[in-house]
Amino acid sequence: MQELGQLADLPESYRADLAAQNLVPLWPSLRSVLPPGTPVRRTRPICWPYAALRPLLMRAGELTPIEKAERRVLVLANPGHGLEKMQASSSIYLGMQLLLPGEWAPSHRHTPNAVRMIVEGEGAYTTVDGEKCLMSRGDLILTPTGLWHEHGHDGDQPVVWLDVLDLPLVYYLEASYVTEGKAQAVTRDAGERAYQRGGVVPSPVFVRADKSYPMLRYPWSEVRAALLTLAADQPGIEAVQVAYVNPETGGDCLNILGFSALMLRPGETLTLPARSPAMVMHQIEGDSEIRVEDQRFLLAPADTCCAPGYVPVTLANRSATLPAFVFLADETPLHKKLGIYEVRP
Ligand code: GTQ
């Protein structure tokens, strides 16, 4: 590839004249914005072990009352982007949120999409668009763009969940903002019950719902059962994996980030090919080993890690007798919409 001219090759007075007109020569920067073959990635493979994070989150519970936090969250920040950027990858934000018994995180809605993966504790709930979604370990709850949501807790132990948002992307688009609201009345029936059986959807008098987000809570008990059934029925299947979809369309459940659950059979090692989107992995149950570039993470339940795009990711079940269950979040829907999605052999 041709070596290009540097900024220093240009006379200083010419550079000053350009800057005075808000002009920049492309050629000194061309190779950094369009590198040959593989993009520049700031996203580094990083692991956030829950055992290290949890005491710091509980300490936040002592130090900062919910009224002073609104959302009591420790952000899982990728140092490759700079901690202050609060990014796990270019488009993914991750936070661990703590709600203590009796606390309430007030109603608001915002442009970024969020999901919550429940990590520990019982008795909390999120009300989304008038639907009260109970939180249990492993449940996935959607709070799509523009929908009101608030969190409450009627139990007697701390509740922790993992927030996954497309906040870095929406912020970059200069489209990120919030609207405060009043406590919501519960007005919407549980989508997870209406759509509980695969292959059939509610169709009153032949009219299908046109809701963009018909299902907001994906109970772990159902997803786990689906994975176990798939593994038992199709022993030859390449990967025991299910995607969280919109049951009306079969498409991705949200527009920007994609979500799936993976079961690693006892002793299984699975290598995902290099794909363009960055990815987040969260251990729901069991113990896994994740290999990304020169990193090797041993995940225990509630541990979270991430991988940049364009590199293969190997996941191995560390148990020879028990299945391991991993929640995956990635940027696939975004890459597909933009036409930049790639899988490399
Ligand atoms: O629970 O609504 O981690 O608005 C970041 C922003 C959680 C939330 C986050 C939010 C929320």
CA of 128 to the centre of ligand 1 (A): 13
Residue 67 parent element (H or E): helix 66-69
pTM above 0.85, yes or no: yes
CA 109 from centre of chain = 18
Nearest-angstrom CA–CA distance, 29 and 31: 6
- Contact residues for 137 (Cβ-Cβ < 8 A; gap 6+): 118, 119, 120, 220, 284
pLDDT of residue 335: 98
Contact between 100 and 183 under an 8 Å Cβ cutoff? The reply is: no
Give the percent of the chain with pLDDT over 90. 94
Distance CA 195, CA 2 (A): 57
Q: Which pLDDT band holds residue 98 (cuts at 50, 70, 90)?
A: very high
What is the mean pLDDT of the segment spanning 44-58?
A: 98
Percent of the chain with pLDDT over 70: 100
pLDDT tens profile 131-190:
999 999 999 999 999 999 999 999 999 999 999 999 999 999 999 999 999 999 999 888
| DSSP state at residue 8 | G
* Ligand 1 pocket mutation, candidates 126, 149, 163, 216, criterion most atoms within 8 A of CB: 163
pLDDT band at 267; cut points 50, 70, 90? very high
pLDDT in tens, 199-251: 899 988 878 877 799 999 999 999 999 999 999 999 999 999 999 999 999 99
In short, whether 141's Cβ falls inside 6 Å of ligand 1 is: no
Backbone φ and ψ for 124, nearest 5 degrees, come out as: -90, 165
Output DSSP code: residue 27.
T
Expressed in angstroms and rounded, the spacing between residue 198 Cα and the centre of ligand 1 is 31
Ligand 1 atom closest to the CA of 93, numbered from 1: 3
pLDDT for position 189: 86
pLDDT at 211: 78
CA torsion sign, 182 to 188 to 193 to 197? negative
The token duo for 40 is: 């520049």
Nearest to 309 by CA among 48, 76, 117, 92: 92
Confidence check: pLDDT of 39 > 90: yes
Average pLDDT of the residues in 268-273: 98
Do 290 and 281 form a contact (C-beta atoms < 8 A)?
yes
Q: How far does the centroid of ligand 1 lie from the alpha carbon of residue 78, in Å?
A: 18
Distance CA 14, CA 91 (A): 38
Per-residue pLDDT tens over the stretch 19-29: 999 999 999 99
92/114 Cα distance (integer angstroms):
10
Residue 214, C-beta contacts closer than 8 angstroms, at least 6 positions apart? 191, 194, 195, 201, 246, 247, 248
Mean pLDDT of the chain: 96
Strands 131-134 and 140-143: unpaired
Q: Using a 6 Å cutoff on CB, does residue 85 contact ligand 1? A: no
92-110: buried (b, 16+ CB within 10 Å) or exposed (e) per residue?
bbbbbbbbbeebebbbebb
